[in-house]
Amino acid sequence: MDSPTPAMLPVVRDYLLLGLRFDRLEEGFVDAYTGDPELRRVVASEPPPQPAELAAQARRLRGELEGSGLCPERTAFLDVHLRALECSARKFAGDDVGFLDEVADYFDVRIGLGDEDTYRAAHRALHEVLPGSGDLAERMRAHRATEEIPPERLNECVDAFSSALRDRVRTRFGLPAMEQIDFEIVTDKPWSGFNYYLGDFRSRVAINADLKQHMSGLPHLIAHEAYPGHHTEHCHKETGIVAEGEHEQTIFLVNTPQCLMAEGLADLALKAAVGPGWGLWAQEIFADLGLRFDGELAERISAAAAGLLGVRQDAAIMLHDQHRSHDDVARFLQRWSLITPQRARQTLRFLTSPLWRAYISTYVEGYRLLSTWLDQGPDGVTQEQRFRRLLDEPLIPSQLR
């Protein structure tokens, strides 16, 4: 007979209620909630929350953690998440919080501008691997055009890569037998893809058709949102630490350290599932669909472009810390990321969203932190074992540092 799930501690219950109240300030702030539905009903029956009151609640709960009966790891997790919620509440209340401090409070990480010499080196590397000659941006745009997935073929490509990655992840990391993902194509969104975790090992993954999907990008996108990215992480934590009584893991909140950890994990998902040689692996899948794709070239271009990781975060700092104009930032994005004006404006839409403006740091700093941590494991511990820890454990950025 299974042992009963431990009872929820009062401080954890109050944390869940606090998190759910933020969704009444900004719909979508609660990215996922799979806990006691009664708590949702409690929050729905309350008067509309006031941001200043939510900030005070977060401060009070941080002060109660020490004597709460939680172990040090759970205490540390809740402490940084309550700090993030206090910052969000202050922002909702209209407080003037500097952008760099906002990112630090949200994501447990300090950021700064990147080095343009690094971007120049990445451009030189791309000059070496991109087909053709002449202007680098034009060559990049021409290459990307050859990789566009015909819109009418997108669904079958998504199905093919989802199936192939699911098989790999089931063997390598494990999945619940009843897990399920429904993919849908959407428009008019500021992101390229989004995982909506519904609980009970089910997800809905939306893919934005407004952004042209490319053959080199689709394997990363499916790995990121599904296998072994967001969906797989939710499933692992639901079968593990949630079942063991860590009820704080039943809620996933925007603009918290959870997000940096999850996005870093998801951006490393294809590396964890396939590793080096992912290009040829993808090439074979596209070939089965009758689509031509040069996987080796795609992998070389991806490696050369890795030095441009920080460009989008620099753009956010320019916008919100240096108060540069949208036109200046769009030109910066086009120059260094080698993207079209349309793509630059789409990026600006994400960077100027009130809810998402700081979120770009989860991708940049999450990838940097987690990739370093995976690469620097102790002797005898494989990257696969380290990645499994990311799937299973509620780690926070300061722990990894």
- Which is it for strands 30-33 and 251-253: parallel, antiparallel or unpaired? antiparallel
Does a cis peptide bond (omega within 30 degrees of 0) precede residue 228?
yes
Contacts of residue 68, defined as CB under 8 A and 6 or more positions apart, other chains included, come to: 9, 10, 11, 75
In whole angstroms, give the CA distance from residue 384 to residue 171: 12
Domain ranges of the chain: 10-97, 116-399
Q: Quick check: 362 pLDDT over 70? A: yes
In whole angstroms, give the CA distance from residue 113 to residue 326: 17
Distance separating the N- and C-terminal Cα atoms of the chain: 40
Helix (H) or strand (E) holding 180: strand 180-186
Confidence at 31, pLDDT banded by 50, 70, 90: very high
| Residue 22 contacts residue 54 (beta carbons within 8 Å) | yes
How confident is the model over 193-218, as a mean pLDDT? 92
To the nearest 10°, the Cα dihedral for 360, 364, 367, 369?
Answer: -110
For the chain, helix, strand, coil in percent to 5 are 60, 5, 30
Q: Greater confidence, 392 or 355? A: 392
DSSP conformational letter for 202: E
To the nearest 10°, the Cα dihedral for 18, 19, 24, 30?
Answer: -170
Confidence at 6, pLDDT banded by 50, 70, 90: confident
What is the pLDDT at residue 1? 42
What is the pLDDT at residue 3? 54
DSSP conformational letter for 214: B
pLDDT in tens, 100-121: 999 999 999 999 999 999 999 9
What is the pLDDT at residue 209? 78
Q: What are phi and psi of 369, to 5 degrees?
A: -65, -50
To the nearest 10°, the Cα dihedral for 272, 277, 283, 285?
Answer: -40
Please name the amino acid found at residue 261. M
Q: What are phi and psi of 50, to 5 degrees?
A: -105, 130
In whole angstroms, give the CA distance from residue 273 to residue 286: 18
- Which is it for strands 193-199 and 202-208: parallel, antiparallel or unpaired? antiparallel
How confident is the model over 380-394, as a mean pLDDT? 95
DSSP conformational letter for 96: -
CA-CA-CA-CA torsion sign (179, 394, 31, 193): negative
Q: Quick check: 123 pLDDT over 90? A: yes
In whole angstroms, give the CA distance from residue 6 to residue 150: 51
Task: Quote the pTM value.
Answer: 0.95
To the nearest 10°, the Cα dihedral for 307, 310, 314, 315?
Answer: 90
